[in-house]
Structures are given as structure tokens and as C-alpha cells.
Chain A
């Protein structure tokens, strides 16, 4: 039995806007085990973003419980949530969100600045290792504007990896990339998953979901479908099957 990384039980989130209450999540319950590659899908307004914010400890549920790696998020204050994000979660954003005019190595080091247990020397070593893991060992001193979109996203993935989180949380991480580059990113994700990383990937593109081992469909704030993908598509093969020069 694999270890449970995420445990959601009857999770609800409501927003009060004036005298109206918007119920974004209406009672979600599911678990995610260590080593899974889960995509969370759903159309606009399905509660995807709200769920992502809660999973990422940026927001707290109104009702129900959310346990991240055994820790109940509900009772934590802002600073404790920040600490949890720092140690347990690696974010990958659609817009990369790298610091401008700051080289790749320092961008990757960033989460470790907020982790007091890591020494200066270890910080650098770990950042180098993370960049090597995303195959950017020759781009340490390049700033974001000297990198392509795919390379920037790989720096962002390295940044997510550097603190050795229990889960990588990707928010439309391929949304700004062309098909070939998004397949490259998915191939990297699959590789990391094969090495044992738990990945939660929020997307609205069905062909991206095909690369994952499990798909959770949301609709109108509720769980619509939770299906195990027995035979995930290999992103490497998909990449090989693309015509050589389809970009032109």
C-alpha cells in the first residue's frame, strides 16, 4: 500500500461576495498516493483553480479536511502555510514566473533561501543537481530572457524540485507552449514520475491528460469522474511521432 500524500474529505470552499455566496467546491473527497501522476481536468468554472489553490496551500477550505503529507492544513496560520509550501510543494506555473534579470541557477536556488536548514554551499549543489535533472546543465548563468519558453519552464520545474517536495503541483504548465515543447515537458514529467515523484497536473487539454496515470474530472465543483489510466501514452514516443518540421 503506497503512502497517501493527499487526503481530501468532503472538501468545500465558498466565497462570500456581498450578500451572495458562491460555492466553488461542493464536497470533494479523494486521495492521492505517493508516486502517482494525476491530472485534474475540468472546464472553466468547474472549480479547478480553487482546488489548485487549496492543494497548493495558498488557500484553505471552508469546510471538510485536507491533509497534505499527514498535516491538516485547516489549523495553520499564514506563516505555517508558507513553511508547508516551502517544504512540501513544488509549484510550476503556466507563466513560468521566473525572476527577471536573475540567472537560472539563482532562480532555482530561490526556494532554498526560505529554508533555514539549507547551508549556502548545499543550496548551490542542490540547485545544480536540479538543473541537471531537467537537462539544463549548460544554462546556469542564463537569465530568463536568454532562454526559450520550454527552457524557462524547465528552470521552473528545477525550482519546484530543488526543495525535494512531496508533490509537484503544475498549473497549466504547458499552456503557453507549442505542441512539441509541451510534449518535451510532459516527457520530463513522466521521467520525474518514473523516479518516484508525485505529480499533480492541472490542465484543460485532454491530450495532456493522456500522459498521466490517473485523471480526475471536475464539473461544477463536484467530482465528475476519477479514472485510472491503465496505459499512459509515452510522451517520448509522441514526440518521436511528430513530423520533423511542423513548426514551419
Chain B
């Protein structure tokens, strides 16, 4: 008997019991829809977290002063003055292949003033590498040079928020003079807006100047708030972290038994922590959805047994007019697979629709991967075959004499 005929027979058998077929499918529909929607939500959140983290500079390494104890008083990290330019020099002397950017960071908050407008913000003193490390880009103008750093030149780059507040008329800020804490700075460049960070910080509320300028003319200090570096790649970031740690320890003359008085953090660590959390969530959600698919499969098996029993006489008749066991087996197997695949199609539609509804109404990020759809289909097919096989085999092994006389 050809597949087409078998499909027709199976389709007709299902049509005879529309409600029953639909209820059986419902298990599969809900299972598949759940798998698709859950995976879409899980993958979507993972992707959005990863994207926003890498926009902060995924290979970024930061060195911060560690809070430590001075005479039984624990001091806050920010008040510690242990990071110095010597540490930068120590790292520089490594000439490491793993590190491709290094910048001190000194910052100070205060009021920026331009003519009648003023805006509370902060100035960040850095070296020219900083832009690459933080993945900041120049929108217009130029970057300050190493020479500007050496001369403590009073030049700066502005972020969009600062520009909007100091130049509300929309005039070009480049070449203009602004004041920060009464020090005049010439604006030499503007930055491409980055929007809010993951933690709700406005990344465009920023003034960037040479660190020497900030140290010498504004804060009048010689210590650093932090050191930013970047590894050449995510893979190199562990090695780079180790090298930086060793260099800074040496520069701080720490003995082997002393703890670090600073901490080194990588962005990669953060990314892997967050994305492993969200992959775990995806696995968990998918497992729950998979269980409902399993229950759907058991539903199919149940209804196929009922169907075989109900149609015992039909099976007997088919056998008596020449159906082989294989023909009967295929007939019931195809019926089971038809239920599961139809359920799968409906489930995919329902799952995709609900994922979009969720993203529309709750604004959750979603990502519907083709693989999740393909996997669902394959699993449906396998479910149908697996759970349909035993009832079908039972049918195919019936004795035609007894089946014909079955009441």
C-alpha cells in the first residue's frame, strides 16, 4: 500500500474523531509551543545581555584599588590612593602581546559651564587608548594626542548628553571653549552616543580629557582611580589579567604571602557569569517544556491503543482481504505520526505567536532560532513513531480469525 493511500486512510480515521484527535494533539501542541516560546525567551535574553555587555568592551580589564585595612579600619576602595602611574609603567614594561590598550583613569565631578548654560557632570582623565578600550568612537573632531597628554593640554571630548545641555541651540561645539571647575577646555571632538548601559547609567554624560590635565589642573592628585586595559581577544583576557596582576603586585612590592591591595576584573567574567545564568534558565525552561511534550506523547500512545481496540474488526477485515502485518503497522504508525506532526505544526505556530505576543506586550527580548523549530519537528516525529509503534505493533500482530469475531 502506498504512503499516499496510508496518509489518506490515517487522515480519514482522524477526521472521524475530530475532537478526540484534537485533544490528543493538544498535548503535543502545548508541549511544542512551550518549547519554542521558552527557548525564544531564554535565547533572546541571553543574546541581549551579551550584546549590551560587549558594547561596553568585551575584552576590557579594569584594575581597581581594593579596600584594605589600615590599623584595624577598613577603608573604602575609592579613598585608597595605591594605584599610581608607576603601575601603568610597570604594565607597559611588560610589552605583553596579550594587552593592546592601557589607560589610567582619573575622574572628578563638577559643573561644566558654557556661556549661560551649565550641567553637572564629571570629567574623566585618560590616555588616548581609552577610546578603544571602552569602544567609544569619535563622531566629529579629533582625539587628543600623546603630546597633549605630556603638555597637560586643556582639550576635551564631549558626550552627547553634555553637548545637548551646554549647546541647546545645536551649534557645533568643536573649537568652542567650555569651563569645568573654572578651567577652560577647548572642545576638540565629540563622541558617538552609546545610550544607557545595562545598569541604567547614561554613557553619554561624559567629558574626556588627558589624564595629566585632570590630575594637574583639577584634582591636584597623583593617584589613579583605576586602570583600564584591553586584551587582544576574549581568549587572551585570562593571560592578560594574570600579567597585569603580577606587574601591579611587583610594582606595589607585595610579598608572596600578602593579599592583593587591588582587584583586577574582566568583562568576560561578567559575560560568562550572566550568560551561564541565562543558559541555565533556557535549559530549565526547555526541560519543563520537554516534559510536557513527553506527556503529549503518552496521550498519543493511549489514544492509539483505544483506536486499535475499537477497530479490531476493521483490522481483521483488512487482514482477511490481504493486508499484511506490515500494512497494518504502517497504517497505525502513520496515524500516530500524523497526529504528532499536525500537533507540531500547530504548536510551532502557537509558540511563535505567543513569543511575539510576549515580546510585544512585555517587551521582553526574544530570539526564535530556526534550530528550535527544526528540533521541535524532529522531536514530534520521533514522539509519534516512538509512542505510536507499540499500539501499531499490537494491531499488526492480531490474529485475523479472532479480530474478525471481536465484539
> Does A85 sit at the interface, judged by CB under 8 A?
yes
> Does A29 sit at the interface, judged by CB under 8 A?
no
CB of A10, distance to nearest CB on chain B (Å): 22
Bound CA span A59–B404, Å? 13
B322 & A83 in contact (Cβ 8 Å cutoff): yes
B16 & A86 in contact (Cβ 8 Å cutoff): no
Bound CA span A220–B28, Å? 56
Which residues of B sit under 8 angstroms from A163, Cβ to Cβ? 321-322
Residues of A54-73 contacting chain B, CB below 8 A: 56, 58-59
CB of A56, distance to nearest CB on chain B (Å): 7
B321 & A91 in contact (Cβ 8 Å cutoff): yes
B325 & A114 in contact (Cβ 8 Å cutoff): no
Residues of B353-407 contacting chain A, CB below 8 A: 400-401, 404
> Does B20 sit at the interface, judged by CB under 8 A?
no
> Does B265 sit at the interface, judged by CB under 8 A?
no
Contact residue among A59, A97, A111 (Cβ-Cβ distance under 8 Å from B322): A111
> Does B1 sit at the interface, judged by CB under 8 A?
yes
Which residues of B sit under 8 angstroms from A93, Cβ to Cβ? 317, 404
Which residues of A sit under 8 angstroms from B327, Cβ to Cβ? 114
Knowing A78-B325, A87-B322, A97-B317 touch, does A53 contact B16 (C-beta < 8 A)? no
Bound CA span A236–B327, Å? 41
A113 & B1 in contact (Cβ 8 Å cutoff): yes
Bound CA span A125–B313, Å? 27
Which residues of A sit under 8 angstroms from B234, Cβ to Cβ? none
Chain B positions 298 through 314: 1 when the CB is less than 8 Å from some CB of chain A, otherwise 0: 00000000000000011
Bound CA span A53–B12, Å? 31
Residue of A nearest to B4 (CB): A120
Main secondary structure of the interface of B (DSSP, over half): helix
Contact residue among B12, B16, B321, B400 (Cβ-Cβ distance under 8 Å from A110): B321
> Does A148 sit at the interface, judged by CB under 8 A?
no
B324 & A78 in contact (Cβ 8 Å cutoff): yes
A56 & B320 in contact (Cβ 8 Å cutoff): yes
> Does B179 sit at the interface, judged by CB under 8 A?
no
In this complex, the interface size class of chain B, counting residues with CB under 8 Å from chain A, is 20 to 34
Contact residue among B1, B16, B321 (Cβ-Cβ distance under 8 Å from A85): B321
> Does B318 sit at the interface, judged by CB under 8 A?
yes
Which residues of B sit under 8 angstroms from A115, Cβ to Cβ? 322
Which residues of A sit under 8 angstroms from B313, Cβ to Cβ? 97
Contact residue among A78, A79, A111 (Cβ-Cβ distance under 8 Å from B321): A111
Residue of A nearest to B399 (CB): A58
A83 & B324 in contact (Cβ 8 Å cutoff): yes
Residue of A nearest to B328 (CB): A82
> Does A154 sit at the interface, judged by CB under 8 A?
no
How many residues of chain A are within 8 Å of chain B by beta carbon? 24
Contact residue among B12, B314, B317, B324 (Cβ-Cβ distance under 8 Å from A82): B324
> Does B270 sit at the interface, judged by CB under 8 A?
no
> Does B217 sit at the interface, judged by CB under 8 A?
no
Which residues of B sit under 8 angstroms from A91, Cβ to Cβ? 320-321
Contact residue among A53, A101, A102 (Cβ-Cβ distance under 8 Å from B401): A53
Contact residue among B314, B321, B400 (Cβ-Cβ distance under 8 Å from A114): B321
CB of A4, distance to nearest CB on chain B (Å): 23
Chain A positions 16 through 54: 1 when the CB is less than 8 Å from some CB of chain B, otherwise 0: 000000000000000000000000000000000000010
Which residues of A sit under 8 angstroms from B16, Cβ to Cβ? 101
Bound CA span A79–B325, Å? 7
Bound CA span A176–B1, Å? 32
Residue of A nearest to B397 (CB): A78
CB of B86, distance to nearest CB on chain A (Å): 90
Residues of A87-133 contacting chain B, CB below 8 A: 87, 91, 93, 97, 99, 101-102, 110-111, 113-115
A99 & B314 in contact (Cβ 8 Å cutoff): yes
> Does B70 sit at the interface, judged by CB under 8 A?
no
Chain B positions 11 through 27: 1 when the CB is less than 8 Å from some CB of chain A, otherwise 0: 01000100000000000
Chain B positions 135 through 179: 1 when the CB is less than 8 Å from some CB of chain A, otherwise 0: 000000000000000000000000000000000000000000000
Which of A86, A113, A159 has the most CB atoms of chain B within a 10 A radius of its CB?
A: A113
Residue of A nearest to B323 (CB): A114
Which residues of A sit under 8 angstroms from B326, Cβ to Cβ? 79
> Does B257 sit at the interface, judged by CB under 8 A?
no
Residue of A nearest to B6 (CB): A113
> Does B88 sit at the interface, judged by CB under 8 A?
no
Contact residue among B1, B314, B400 (Cβ-Cβ distance under 8 Å from A58): B400
CB of B390, distance to nearest CB on chain A (Å): 19
Bound CA span A53–B399, Å? 12
CB of A103, distance to nearest CB on chain B (Å): 11
Chain A positions 175 through 194: 1 when the CB is less than 8 Å from some CB of chain B, otherwise 0: 00000000000000000000
Bound CA span A239–B388, Å? 51
Knowing A58-B400, A99-B314, A114-B1 touch, does A85 contact B320 (C-beta < 8 A)? yes
CB of A216, distance to nearest CB on chain B (Å): 21
B325 & A86 in contact (Cβ 8 Å cutoff): no
CB<8 Å pairs between A and B, sample of 24: A53-B401, A58-B319, A58-B400, A58-B404, A78-B324, A78-B325, A79-B326, A82-B324, A83-B322, A83-B324, A85-B319, A85-B320, A86-B321, A91-B321, A93-B317, A93-B404, A97-B313, A97-B404, A101-B12, A102-B12, A110-B321, A111-B322, A114-B324, A163-B321
Enumerate the 4 nearest inter-chain pairs by beta-carbon distance, A residue then B residue, closest first.
A86-B322, A114-B322, A111-B321, A82-B324
Q: With contacts A82-B322, A111-B321 known, what are 12 further pairs, Cβ within 8 A?
A: A56-B320, A58-B400, A79-B326, A82-B319, A83-B324, A93-B404, A97-B313, A97-B317, A99-B314, A99-B317, A114-B1, A114-B323
List chain A positions with a Cβ less than 8 A from chain B: 53, 56, 58-59, 78-79, 82-83, 85-87, 91, 93, 97, 99, 101-102, 110-111, 113-115, 159, 163
